[in-house]
Amino acid sequence: MKITKNIHALKIPFKVNISPDKIAERFVYVYIICGKKIWLTDTGVAGSKKMIFDYIESIGKNIADIESIFLTHSHPDHIGSAKSIKQECGSKVYVHCLERNWVEDVDLQCAQRPVPGFKNLVEGSVKVDGILKDGDIVNLDENLSLRVFHTPGHSNGSVSYLIKEEGVLLCGDSVLSSNQMPVFDDLAESINSVKKLEKINDVEILLSSWDDPCKNGQIQDVFKDSVDYLTRIQQAVQKVAAKENTSDSMEFCKNIISELKLPSVMVNPITARTFQSVLKKIQCVYTE
């Protein structure tokens, strides 16, 4: 789907085996930036290469022109196909320094953040060619630049990208919309990052990994909605922690998902990890 003169969105569906009897249907967006060359933000899950290449060819472009892959972060549904795309096109891979280890060593990522079905979602480790930091501006073409905003919270090294000339902000997983599966490492940082993005001027289109493109007029509502949702999650964790035993993390997770009136498929190790991160911060405040 063409979004602006130079930016295209590709929605990639995939399935996650949460447990032997539970399969979650998910999707992730990959964005294709076209100019004299081609640049990708994220690569979808393992096996997405064909969809990405078919799309690029369908718009009359050449896959050999994929110069770089700008990762928003290291999670499986973002780095999944980076290995084969890099191998085939010789593309350079860029990411924030705090995500580098998990891109270059996916076994380490799987051990430290064991997402269900991890091995099926990622093709393998990928060598990072360049490190991005907050404020970096990468000149893609004469009239096309990519500015990096460090937006931690969802993960430590999550970044968002502003393509100023097109009025487009690519936020990866940094903006959690209401009723989406709560996945983040630090709630306070997530809120700060949304507020940071909210202050960027002249954003006409917001492109996230988990949501359909959002146009000017709705964008501020999306940011507000995200902060409200994150605040509700914090309150739910506080409420459940005050009355239930928190020692069984899956039971604790189940109670919070129910408190938030979210679907039961969201009771899983990923959200359990999210709620434990919030709980840890609350317990720190109590003991300080």
Residues in contact with Zn ion by the rule CB under 5 A: 75, 173
Q: Which helix (H) or strand (E) holds 55?
A: helix 49-58
Give yes or no for a contact between 74 and 102, defined as CB atoms under 8 angstroms apart: yes
Specify the residue, 53 or 275, whose C-beta has the smaller distance to Zn ion. 275
Specify the residue, 75 or 96, whose C-beta has the smaller distance to Zn ion. 75
Specify the residue, 8 or 75, whose C-beta has the smaller distance to Zn ion. 75
Instruction: Look up tokens 């549904």; give the residue.
Output: 77
Q: Which residues pair with 137 in a beta bridge?
A: 147
Using alpha carbons, select from 280, 285, 265, 258 the residue that is nearest to residue 26: 265
Q: How far is the CB of 75 from Zn ion (least distance, A)?
A: 3
CA distance 184 to 176: 9
* Residue number, nearest CB to Zn ion: 75
Q: How far is the CB of 59 from Zn ion (least distance, A)?
A: 27
CA distance 288 to 286: 6
Give yes or no for a contact between 156 and 98, defined as CB atoms under 8 angstroms apart: yes
Q: How far is the CB of 184 from Zn ion (least distance, A)?
A: 9
Q: How far is the CB of 106 from Zn ion (least distance, A)?
A: 14
Structure tokens at 27: 């999707």
Q: How far is the CB of 10 from Zn ion (least distance, A)?
A: 17
